[in-house]
């Protein structure tokens, strides 16, 4: 059977690659065409567009690149029509995917969605469109099933794919990691400033301002696969920090603490049981717009899933050197760390066990066989 998968960003590429592996197991004759990245390409199939080509962040950035965005949407529709898949599978990336889904449903394509748009965070009115355009929704956060139930839409909770990604990875020792990357013997503080240029620019410089204040530690930047080192170098300047590209899980597994941009990385750090401070700073206009439409108490997935403040969030004007220094000092204290570890274990239990991608692939293939 023929599968068309539309993913965006590095996280979508990761989850898309695992889904593709599972699809190929379930359907040995699977023909896959996709929007994604390098990880999905390594699995097989045909890459249509790389997510790096459309990595726009925030309302203002999207508006500035609106002609490009509309061009991608038009091209995607034509490509799906030409490929004529048995099912279109959308992965996260709601701004783009919901527009394609509306068209795909109108053209009578079967539509599945893996990793729900965050309609529980803002614009819940979009649920009406999702019910109309998506045949089956697979969700990865436990509270999402109850959220959709309020709108009489039955979705399937499959567990969180990050659990698989972390459990299946090859383990690395601290000694070997430090030797491989020429690091010293000091404990590591990982810096995860995001994957898009706009967020890295706004957050990394503040994170780096702490380097001289914590001389007993070494700071290591987790480079995003979508960005070149030259971009980071402009921000780093002459500061004494280390940079490691595309080895985020290895870095998280051996670090002592982390400063993390809000997003999937906050949950990744938690699953590695790594104490963290969550950071967010957007453009003033984008933040003001977001503040008016987002109704959540928290921005980090850790706190949202636990429904309480487990990790500290420094948002917009609170994201300053002074506040960041105070919170980093807190998470380095043993008393705080012990309490946090227990919270992290509880979080992992709530998320369920392994097998998210396999659950989705089995259901997608089984539904097609019923047609």
pLDDT digits (tens, 9 = 90+) for 49-64: 998 876 555 555 555 6
Report which of 15, 40, 6 is spatially closest to residue 357, judged by C-alpha positions: 15
Q: Is the pLDDT of residue 121 over 80?
A: no
Q: What is the DSSP letter of 253?
A: H
Q: What span, in angstroms and rounded, lies between the C-alpha atoms of 125 and 120?
A: 10
Asked if residue 298 and residue 183 are part of one domain, the reply reads yes
Q: Are 165 and 14 a contacting pair, CB within 8 Å?
A: yes
pLDDT of residue 344: 95
In the chain, the number of structural domains is 2
Asked if residue 332 and residue 295 are part of one domain, the reply reads yes
Q: What span, in angstroms and rounded, lies between the C-alpha atoms of 2 and 285?
A: 42
- Compute the mean pLDDT over every residue in the chain, rounded to the nearest whole number: 90
Q: Is the pLDDT of residue 261 over 90?
A: yes
Asked if residue 121 and residue 174 are part of one domain, the reply reads no
Axis-axis angle for helices 321-331, 197-208 (nearest 10): 70
187-199 exposure pattern, b = at least 16 Cβ within 10 A, e = fewer = ebbbbbbbbbbbb
Name the band, by pLDDT with cuts 50, 70 and 90, for residue 66.
low
Q: Domain range for residue 76? A: 2-159+355-370
CATH number of the domain that residue 279 is part of: 3.40.50.2000
Asked if residue 207 and residue 317 are part of one domain, the reply reads yes
**Where would I find the beta strands (DSSP E) of the chain?**
2-7, 31-36, 46-50, 87-91, 111-114, 136-139, 156-157, 188-192, 218-223, 242-245, 257-261, 276-280, 312-315
Asked if residue 125 and residue 264 are part of one domain, the reply reads no
Asked if residue 336 and residue 361 are part of one domain, the reply reads no
Largest CA distance in the chain: 63
pLDDT of residue 74: 94
Q: Is the pLDDT of residue 263 over 90?
A: no
Q: Are 39 and 54 a contacting pair, CB within 8 Å?
A: no
Handedness of CA 339, 345, 351, 357 (dihedral sign): positive
Q: Is the pLDDT of residue 180 over 90?
A: yes
Asked if residue 189 and residue 133 are part of one domain, the reply reads no
Asked if residue 308 and residue 172 are part of one domain, the reply reads yes
Asked if residue 243 and residue 127 are part of one domain, the reply reads no
Q: Are 351 and 163 a contacting pair, CB within 8 Å?
A: yes
Name the band, by pLDDT with cuts 50, 70 and 90, for residue 198.
confident
pLDDT of residue 289: 47
pLDDT of residue 292: 47
Asked if residue 192 and residue 91 are part of one domain, the reply reads no
User: What mean pLDDT comes out for the span 257-282?
Assistant: 93
Asked if residue 136 and residue 181 are part of one domain, the reply reads no
Q: Is the pLDDT of residue 168 over 90?
A: no
**Terminal CA-CA length for the chain:** 12
Asked if residue 49 and residue 29 are part of one domain, the reply reads yes
pLDDT of residue 10: 80
Structure tokens at 187: 């404990």
pLDDT of residue 368: 93
């Amino acid at each position: 059977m023929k599968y068309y998968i539309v993913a965006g960003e590095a996280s979508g590429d990761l989850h898309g690659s695992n889904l593709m592996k599972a699809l190929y197991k379930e359907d040995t004759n699977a023909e896959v065409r996709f929007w994604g990245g390098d990880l999905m390409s390594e699995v097989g199939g045909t890459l249509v567009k790389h997510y790096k080509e459309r990595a726009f962040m925030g309302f203002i950035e999207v508006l500035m690149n609106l002609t490009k965005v509309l061009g991608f949407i038009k091209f995607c529709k034509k490509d799906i029509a030409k490929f004529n898949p048995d099912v279109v599978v959308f992965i996260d990336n709601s701004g783009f995917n919901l527009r394609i889904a509306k068209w795909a449903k109108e053209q009578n394509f079967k539509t599945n969605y893996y990793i729900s748009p965050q309609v529980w965070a803002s614009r819940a009115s979009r649920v009406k469109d999702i019910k109309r355009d998506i045949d089956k929704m697979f969700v990865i956060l436990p509270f999402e099933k109850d959220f959709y139930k309020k709108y009489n839409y039955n979705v399937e909770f499959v567990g969180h794919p990050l659990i698989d990604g972390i459990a299946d990875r090859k383990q690395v020792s601290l000694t070997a990691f430090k030797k491989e990357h020429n690091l010293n013997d000091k404990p590591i503080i990982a810096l995860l400033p995001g994957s898009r240029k706009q967020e890295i620019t706004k957050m990394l410089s503040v994170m780096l301002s702490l380097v001289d204040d914590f001389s007993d530690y070494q700071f290591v930047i987790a480079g995003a696969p979508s960005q070149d080192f030259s971009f980071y170098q402009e921000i780093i300047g002459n500061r004494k920090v280390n940079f490691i590209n595309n080895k985020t899980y290895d870095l998280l597994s051996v670090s002592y603490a982390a400063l993390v941009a809000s997003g999937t990385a906050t949950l990744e750090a938690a699953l590695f049981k790594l104490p963290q401070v969550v950071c967010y700073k957007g453009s003033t206009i984008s933040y003001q717009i977001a503040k008016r439409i987002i109704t959540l108490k928290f921005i980090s997935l850790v706190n949202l899933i636990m429904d309480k403040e487990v990790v500290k969030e420094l948002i917009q004007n609170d994201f300053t050197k002074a506040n960041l220094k105070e919170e980093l000092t807190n998470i380095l204290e043993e008393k705080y760390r012990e309490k946090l570890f227990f919270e992290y274990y509880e979080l992992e239990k709530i998320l369920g066990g392994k097998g998210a991608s396999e659950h989705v692939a089995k259901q997608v293939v089984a539904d097609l066989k019923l047609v």
